[in-house]
A and B are shown apart, each in its own frame.
Chain A
Amino acid sequence: EVHLEESGGGLVQPGRSLRLSCRVSGFTFVDYGLTWFRQPPGKGLEWVSLTRSNSYGGETLYAASVQGRFSFLRSDSNTNAYLQMNSLKPEDTAIYFCTRWTQTGTSTRFDSWGQGTLVTVSS
């Protein structure tokens, strides 16, 4: 069974750093892309970053609002992905979701989501 589980959220002061984890099981991480989305409290969904699967080039892109502050990392075992978040701002406060991104020749879909982890940036 495909499963993604985020962890690492919490309360952090502005300007500090936090690393979110996305532990995956039930599939081979390198064969799929991974995306991070976020949802500020009471608001809609926002895209944060994408990482293509190795078969599709493996590039990582970031939303302009986090470019230069956030970075995607992957463990050697390929069972964990990380979102390293530096220089956090109050507007980064949100629930963060990691999502499996399946890319094939015929379709592309975001077919499995984690339960999310809440990040609160406040002094």
Chain B
Amino acid sequence: DIVMTQTPLSLSLTPGQPASISCRSSQSLVYSDGKTYLSWFLQKPGQSPQLLIHGVSNRFSGVSDRFSGSGSGTVYTLKISRVEAEDVGLYYCMQHVEAPWTFGQGTKVEIK
């Protein structure tokens, strides 16, 4: 199974600060079709997860442009340019290049 390792596991930020979450995979997430199957989700308190980023760097419809994804091979990053109060929650990366699909442990983002 592909192991996904997220760091840090928690972030405590003041509004307006930037944030960066790293996700490392135990093997490449590039499929034979040349695409990379890595997504980012945010689970706000008491809610279902919601898609933020798909295909490493594609913001999902309606997602603020404060969010950006990057990376390649086995190292991926989610960045928030300026954290806002509405960004609090758990952030997860997930690989779906091969079954079993696996998630990172989650990064808890809170606002000071």
Contact surface of A with B, Cβ cutoff 8 Å = 37, 44-47, 50, 61, 63-64, 97, 107-111, 113-116
Q: Is B79 close to A, CB under 8 A? A: no
Known contacts A45-B92, A109-B60, A111-B60: does B54 contact A116 (CB below 8 Å)? no
Tell which of B54, B102, B106 touches A109, judged by Cβ atoms closer than 8 Å: B54
Determine how close the nearest CB of chain B comes to the CB of A115; give it in whole angstroms. Answer: 6
List chain A residues, Cβ under 8 A from B90. Answer: 44
Known contacts A45-B49, A113-B48, A116-B48: does B100 contact A108 (CB below 8 Å)? no
**Which residue of chain A has the shortest Cβ distance to B99 in the bound complex?**
A61
Q: Roughly how many angstroms separate A64 CA and B100 CA in the complex, as a whole number?
A: 8
**Which residue of chain A has the shortest Cβ distance to B35 in the bound complex?**
A108
Contact surface of B with A, Cβ cutoff 8 Å = 35, 37, 39, 41, 43, 48-51, 54-55, 58, 60-61, 90, 92, 94, 96, 99-106
Known contacts A50-B99, A107-B54, A110-B51: does B60 contact A44 (CB below 8 Å)? no
Contacts between the two chains (Cβ within 8 Å), count: 56
Determine how close the nearest CB of chain B comes to the CB of A37; give it in whole angstroms. Answer: 8
List chain A residues, Cβ under 8 A from B96. Answer: 108
Determine how close the nearest CB of chain A comes to the CB of B33; give it in whole angstroms. Answer: 10
Interface SS of chain A: helix, strand, loop or mixed? strand
**Which residue of chain B has the shortest Cβ distance to A4 in the bound complex?**
B48
Cross-chain contact A114 with B48 (CB below 8 angstroms): yes
Between A and B, 25 residue pairs with Cβ closer than 8 Å are: A37-B49, A44-B105, A44-B106, A45-B41, A45-B43, A45-B49, A45-B94, A45-B103, A45-B106, A47-B100, A47-B101, A47-B102, A50-B99, A63-B100, A97-B49, A107-B55, A108-B37, A108-B54, A108-B55, A108-B96, A109-B54, A109-B55, A110-B54, A111-B51, A113-B48
List chain B residues, Cβ under 8 A from A111. Answer: 51, 60-61
